[in-house]
Amino acid sequence: MNAAQLFLPGWGFGPGPLTAALTGSGWQVLDLPGNSDGDPVPATFLAARDALLARLPACSHLGGWSLGGMLALACAQAAPERILSLTLVGSSPSFLNREGWELGRPPTELQAFQARIRRQGAALLPRFAQGFCQGDASPQAVEALLAQATPVPQAALEAGLAWLAEADLRAGLASLTCPVTLIHGENDPLMPAAAARWLAEQLPRAELRLLPGKAHAPFSPDPTPFCSGLPRP
């Protein structure tokens, strides 16, 4: 029996956009912990990783977009024997700038965004999408992403930002021996392509596929170039 091919969505938009993009590809979307009403929301990034590991089959090909990609990478680091391959889309080992890492966002920027999310919740998502789609050659990228978005509970929105503040996955990358495909918009303003290049240099079996004219949601509105770059396990 073939191993499952599972893809994790990013923060804020639920499984909808990736479900639409991956239709017919053989990949299935596995939602993040806490994104569904009644699903417990893990308080920390490591707790979210463990919740995902509890849901994954014994072996799988695992992919993820943005925060989902960071969680996929964390799962592979924690349980390498269970992850046959990784596909990381618009991802980075650290969303924030830290000591020795200047390819992230300023911590004060995330803190200000967290405060706005606490006040306004999902009403901020259109503006957020407009920001991270800057540089995308398609003027429909934002509209398509928002049209396909699945509602995410307020508690999960807030927790996901806390996970981004916590996660630093730089350690131990050289020991991760599964094949890794890195798909990244060349014009990504949120998680820059330089972060994907750095990951490609650190991972022993990485292949980097930069998509010209695309930003942080390289599957929107036309998923064809994105899907053509997906590995075929």
CATH of residue 44? 3.40.50.1820
In a domain, 233, yes or no: no
Residue 123: how many CB atoms within 10 A of its CB? Answer: 10
In a domain, 27, yes or no: yes
Residue 66: how many CB atoms within 10 A of its CB? Answer: 27
In a domain, 197, yes or no: yes
For residue 37, what pLDDT is reported?
84
The string of DSSP codes covering 197-211 is HHHHHHSTTEEEEEE
pLDDT digits (tens, 9 = 90+) for 88-138: 999 999 999 999 999 999 999 999 999 999 999 999 999 999 999 999 999
In a domain, 91, yes or no: yes
pTM above 0.85?
yes
What is the C-alpha to C-alpha distance for residues 35 and 10, in angstroms, rounded to an integer? 11
Percent of the chain with pLDDT over 90: 96
pLDDT digits (tens, 9 = 90+) for 172-186: 999 999 999 999 999
Instruction: Quote the domain boundaries for residue 129.
Output: 4-228
The answer to whether residue 233 scores a pLDDT higher than 90 is no
For residue 208, what pLDDT is reported?
97
What is the C-alpha to C-alpha distance for residues 12 and 121, in angstroms, rounded to an integer? 10
In a domain, 114, yes or no: yes
Number of domains within the chain: 1
